[in-house]
Amino acid sequence: MTDSVLTIPHLALAAAEQWPNAEAVVEGDTRITFAELTEAMRRVAAGFIAAGLEKGERVALWAENSVDWIVACLGLQAAGGVLVPLNTRYRAGEAADIVRRSGTSYAVASSEFLGYRYADQLREADAPGLRCVLELGTPGWDEFLADGEGHETEVEARLSALKPGDLVDILFTSGTTGAPKGVMATHEQNVRTARLWAKATTIGEGDRFCILWPFFHCSGYKAGWVVNLAVGATTLPLAQLDVGELTDLVEKEKVTFLPGPPTLFQTLLADPDFNRDKVSSLRVSITGAASVPPQMITDMREVLGIPVVLTGYGLTEACGTLTMTAPSDPPEIVVRSCGKAIDGVELKLVNSDGAPVPTGEPGRIFARGYNVMLGYLDDPAATAEAIDGDGWLDTGDIGVMDAQGYLAITDRSKDMFITGGFNCYPAEIEAMLLEHPAVGSVAVKGLPDDRMGEVCAAWIVPASGVQPDKAGIVAWSRDRMANFKVPRKIAFVEGLPRNATGKVQKFLLPEIPD
């Protein structure tokens, strides 16, 4: 496939030309080749044209990971529409807010997922601009497709009219630190990022990629099935994580590429009865989105037998990817860093005055490159605050870079707290606490304190079969970290509140009584 293909629907068309009979998507008993995928894309595009969709109009997509999600997305994009994916954890009010703010005209939704009726909620939404709600897998969807018959010529005209610089999607940020903002990106930004992500991770033709990451997020969409279109890999979408079902799927379908949250691999490693042969086909995994115990990376390679374990760093404002470790990097690199900048991306770390910081010193991370967003939807002030006149994106993260260019994320700048005049970075403290044998997972943030300004608080999920005590954790911490970092308040909890991509939502952590 040539690098001249720079729109997402044309990636699908090129894949169908190069690998027509190869499996593009496998879901249960459904197996779709690349040639069949493009025909399905054209049918959906024709349906949208018949329904009156104009180029540039926004189409919301609210559904679980599935073949239908991919086909609907490709179809609306082939017709010139702009994707607005909705988080499957949203409830009616949240979804309606995104639909209104994005100016969405059409919506495609599942009938029901995990007991929630997405299509019904959209029909009842307070969104005056929403003209049409299409329900996947229903007679109404079949009628929508049938109405498109006879519009084949218009489909080809819409495809020919697509330009690499056209707006293709608006992804709303996760909202872990404030109201979600709509991030705008083009076809070309997504396609170029997908190709370079593939190069960094070694995924290629013949790989079988089980995608746990949600399609409504950059990870499952831009670093997921779009990548597979670019390289000829097979997509195996998974709507929800059940470890037993997942490992059965890996064994049955000979999955080779399996990114996942640390908890997935911790679960497999902690089960003494787990048959490692079930995952023997795996050759690459990517993990992260949380602090990772160093031993886990070694065990993924040596115990589970996964030859390549990677991690990376990115954000929605940069098409999801800025850095990636290399397959040859040893476990200690994968644990202590998120890799180097991918090709075409520049990074710089600066202090509060905007001056570069020395190697090994923490600084605010700025990024520049082809994948930096066009801006925030209808918010020029926020865009100007995020991207300076030279094109540098303020990530809002704090990091340290070594002499070889490996970046380690210290923390979100907004998460940093100050204890007695000392800067405290929760991610650093979390990584240290994970070394305690009784700590399974942990979240740290600062809480107000009359004397110190703020003090360190830790929410700890105990390791399996262990009952830690607060005094023991504090004493252990005092021996291993500066006094101002030691948790002053500790709560033992059964789990940490996370969003769909595994990030801890610290604003949902329970109060710790005095």
Q: Are 503 and 213 in contact (CB under 8 A)?
A: no
Q: Are 320 and 200 in contact (CB under 8 A)?
A: no
Residue 126's identity, in one-letter code, is: D
Strand ordering across the sheet containing 30-33: 30-33, 23-27, 234-237, 208-211
Residue 397 lies in a domain: no
Residue 237 lies in a domain: yes
282 and 176, same domain (yes or no): no
Neighbours of 51 (CB within 10 A): 16
286 and 155, same domain (yes or no): no
247 and 162, same domain (yes or no): no
- At 55, phi and psi to the nearest 5? -55, 135
454 or 32: which leads in pLDDT: 32
Residue 173 lies in a domain: yes
Interior/surface letters 390-413, b for 16+ CB within 10 angstroms, e for the rest: eebbbbbbbbbbeeeebbbbbbbb
Residue 294 pLDDT > 90, yes or no?
Answer: no
The helix, strand and coil proportions of the chain, stated in percent and rounded to the nearest 5, come to: 35, 25, 40
Residue 495 lies in a domain: yes
What per-residue confidence (pLDDT) applies to 350? 95
Q: What is the bridge-based pairing of β-strands 208-211 and 234-237?
A: parallel
Residue 409 lies in a domain: no
Query: Residues, the chain, total?
Result: 514
**SS3 label, residue 341:** strand
What per-residue confidence (pLDDT) applies to 1? 62
Residue 357 lies in a domain: no
Q: pLDDT for 172-192, tens place per residue? A: 986 544 567 999 999 999 999
CATH number for position 502: 3.30.300.30
Range of the domain at 455: 418-508
201 or 174: which leads in pLDDT: 201
What per-residue confidence (pLDDT) applies to 174? 61
The model scores a pTM over 0.75: yes
447 and 495, same domain (yes or no): yes
Residue 225 pLDDT > 60, yes or no?
Answer: yes
What per-residue confidence (pLDDT) applies to 498? 86
What mean pLDDT is reported for the chain? 92
- C-alpha to C-alpha distance for 285 and 260, rounded to whole angstroms: 7
50 and 175, same domain (yes or no): yes
162 and 298, same domain (yes or no): no
Q: What are the DSSP E strand ranges found in 413-505?
A: 417-419, 422-424, 439-449, 453-462, 489-492
Strand ordering across the sheet containing 345-350: 345-350, 363-369, 393-401, 407-412
Residue 274's identity, in one-letter code, is: F
Q: What are the DSSP E strand ranges found in 208-274?
A: 208-211, 234-237
Last residue of a domain, one of 134, 156, 186: 186
- C-alpha to C-alpha distance for 135 and 150, rounded to whole angstroms: 22
Classify 289 in phi/psi space as left (phi over 0), alpha (psi -120 to 50) or beta: left
CATH number for position 154: 3.40.50.12780
Tokens 């929410």 sit on residue: 459
Q: Are 219 and 261 in contact (CB under 8 A)?
A: no
Neighbours of 420 (CB within 10 A): 13
372 and 323, same domain (yes or no): yes
Q: pLDDT for 474-510, tens place per residue? A: 999 988 877 878 999 999 999 999 876 677 888 899 9
What per-residue confidence (pLDDT) applies to 429? 87
Burial (Cβ within 10 Å: 0-12, 13-18, ≥19) of residue 95 = buried
Q: Are 66 and 237 in contact (CB under 8 A)?
A: yes
Residue 402 lies in a domain: no
471 and 378, same domain (yes or no): no
Residue 353 lies in a domain: no
Q: Which tokens in the block code for residue 412? A: 């979100």
312 and 430, same domain (yes or no): no
Q: What are the DSSP E strand ranges found in 139-295?
A: 167-172, 182-186, 208-211, 234-237, 284-286
Q: What is the bridge-based pairing of β-strands 132-135 and 104-109?
A: parallel
Burial (Cβ within 10 Å: 0-12, 13-18, ≥19) of residue 447 = middle
- C-alpha to C-alpha distance for 356 and 133, rounded to whole angstroms: 50
Q: pLDDT for 116-164, tens place per residue? A: 899 999 999 989 999 999 999 999 999 999 999 999 999 999 999 999 9
26 and 116, same domain (yes or no): yes
Q: Which tokens in the block code for residue 348? A: 């710089």
153 and 293, same domain (yes or no): no
Q: Are 94 and 216 in contact (CB under 8 A)?
A: no
In what helix (H) or strand (E) does residue 118 lie, and over which residues does it extend?
helix 118-123
- C-alpha to C-alpha distance for 462 and 469, rounded to whole angstroms: 10
Q: Are 468 and 492 in contact (CB under 8 A)?
A: yes
Residue 113 is classified by DSSP as B
Give how many domains the chain has, as a whole number. Answer: 3
Tokens 């002499």 sit on residue: 403
300 and 427, same domain (yes or no): no
